[in-house]
């Protein structure tokens, strides 16, 4: 019975994936007549058209997501070290501020954020997306990472201190290597979030050659007579980098989630 449940759930979970692939090979007429089954002939030109549209946006998306994830993880790791290593004066207040930040509705920030970006002359640049993406990642990441750093036994740190290591050396030699799996999980999450994010980009980026893949696909969505095949092919193409990412970080999800997730 347990196998039955699990397999059943998996079927439902894979259904959208199947549909995405299936529809990407249909022409509109095929889609109307039979949306669920596989229809022949397979219209591979949908993928060609989707690639035409999407390939300009891929470098943008990749740049933004990778950069913001890297910056986010580095910033969060440093911040977690600060909060977890020693209870410095003032840390309590800062921590409370951080927790409060987690609860703020982000939508109302959109306009002041926009005005801020305008004043910094960052409108219509990818840098804006990178910086804001990194900032958004921070709160939750610091939360999780702090617990993790706090769980590293103190003796390691104390030993290093005795041997004369500065805080930076302690950080670099102890925290960073140990944090591999958990930082990886956070990085993957951050990457996914940044990849799928479009609200800010829609508002900040005006030049079409700076659009990210998600925004570009939204444009396809708005077409009057939706070309379902091309649309789904576009989404498939945009999922490919994510799939590659998952292949490499599979281990993390299978094992690395034991850290941090339970305590969190």
Partner 1 sequence: MKGQNISLRQARYHLSIYLFLLPCALFIGMFAYYPAVNGIYHSFFQWNGGDVDRFHGAQSYSKLFLADTEFWLAFKNALILGIANIFKMAPSIVTAVCLHRVRNARLQFVYRVAFVVPMVIPILVTTYLWKAIYDPSNGALNTILQSTGLMKALVWISSSAAHLSENFDPLGFFSWLGALFRAGENPAWLGTPSLAMLALILRDFPWVGTFGVLVYLAVLQSIPRDIYEAAEVDGAGWLSKFRYIELPMILRQVRIMMILVIMGSINDAGLVMAMFGIEGGPGGVVQVPALFMYREAFQNQNLGYACAIGVVMFAVILICTKLNDWLVKPGD
Partner 2 sequence: MKPVESRPTGFWRRISERFNSQRNANGNGAPADDGQRRVNRIAVALVAGTFLWSLSHVLLRQRIDETAHPVLSLAHWQLEPGIRTGMETMARRYNAMRRSRGLPEVIFKQYPISEKAYGQWVTTQLIGGTAPDLIEMGIGLPAATWVNYRGRYFVPLTQEIMRPNPYNAGTPLENVPWKETFLDGLGNPISELQEYYDIGLSAFGQRIFFNQALLKKLTAKLASEGKIPAALDEPPGDLRAFLKLCDQIMELKDERGRNYMSLAGSKYQMGFMVKQIIDPLTMELLDKVDLNHSADASSEETFFAARMGRLKFSDPQVLRIAAIWKEIAKRFQPGWNGLDRNDAVQLFVRQQCLFFATGSWDASTLKVQAESSETPFPVGIAKFPVISPNDPEWGEFGWGPTYEKPATAFPFGIPSQSNNRELALDFLRFITTRENNQILNDEIEWIPVIKGAEPKPLLRAFQPTFEGMYRGWNLELGSRTKTFTDQIEPLMEIGEDDKGRSFTILDWAEHMDTEWVDAAARDFEKRDEDERDGLQTKNALAAVLRAKMLLAAPENRDFHTRHYFGYASVPLEANKNIALWQAWLRETAPAKKGAQP
By CB under 8 A, the residues from 140 to 199 that bind partner 1 are 142, 150, 154, 166-168, 171, 192, 196, 199
CA–CA dist 163, 69 (Å, integer): 33
Tokens of 134: 């990194």
Q: Which long-range contacts (CB under 8 A, 24 or more apart) does 118-123 make?
A: 122/204, 123/204, 123/206
Closer CB to partner 1, residue 28 or residue 239? 239
- Interface positions, 69-88, toward partner 1 (CB under 8 A): 71-72, 74-76, 78-79, 81-88
> Which of 15, 120, 150, 255: binder of partner 2 (CB under 8 A)?
255
Phi/psi at 152 (nearest 5 deg)? Answer: -70, 125
Token pair 């290591």 is at which residue? 165
- Interface positions, 109-138, toward partner 2 (CB under 8 A): 114-115, 117-118, 123-124, 126
**Per-residue interface string for the shown chain with partner 2, residues 154-173, x marking contact by CB under 8 A:** -xx-xxxxxxxxx------x
CA–CA dist 53, 88 (Å, integer): 52
Q: Residue 26: which residues within 8 A CB-CB, separation 6 or more?
A: 35, 39, 43, 46, 228, 229
Residues that bind partner 2 (CB under 8 A): 28-29, 32-33, 58-60, 62-63, 66-67, 114-115, 117-118, 123-124, 126, 152-153, 155-156, 158-166, 173-174, 177-178, 180-181, 202-204, 206-209, 218-219, 221-226, 241, 244, 248-249, 251, 255, 259
């Amino acid at each position: 019975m347990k196998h039955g449940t699990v397999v059943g759930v998996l079927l439902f979970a894979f259904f959208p994936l199947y549909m995405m692939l299936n529809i990407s090979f249909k022409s509109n007429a095929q889609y109307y007549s039979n949306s669920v089954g596989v229809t022949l002939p397979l219209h591979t030109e949908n993928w060609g058209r989707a690639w035409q549209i999407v390939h300009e946006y891929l470098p943008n998306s990749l740049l933004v997501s990778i950069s913001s994830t890297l910056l986010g993880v580095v910033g969060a790791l440093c911040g977690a070290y600060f909060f977890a290593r020693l209870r410095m004066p003032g840390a309590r207040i800062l921590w409370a501020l951080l927790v409060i930040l987690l609860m703020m509705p982000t939508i109302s920030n959109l306009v002041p954020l926009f005005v801020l970006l305008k004043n910094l002359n960052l409108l219509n640049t990818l840098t804006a997306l990178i910086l804001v993406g990194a900032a958004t990642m921070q709160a939750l990441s610091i939360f999780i990472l702090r617990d993790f750093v706090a769980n590293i036994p103190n003796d390691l740190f104390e030993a290093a201190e005795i041997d004369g290591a500065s805080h930076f050396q302690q950080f670099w030699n102890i925290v960073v290597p140990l944090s591999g799996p958990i930082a990886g999980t956070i990085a993957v999450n951050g990457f996914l979030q940044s990849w799928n994010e479009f609200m800010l980009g829609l508002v900040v980026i005006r030049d079409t050659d700076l659009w990210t893949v998600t925004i570009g696909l939204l444009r396809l969505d708005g077409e009057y007579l939706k070309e379902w095949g091309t649309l789904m092919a576009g989404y498939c193409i945009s999922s490919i980098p994510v799939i590659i990412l998952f292949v490499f970080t599979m281990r993390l999800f299978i094992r690395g989630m034991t850290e941090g997730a339970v305590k969190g």
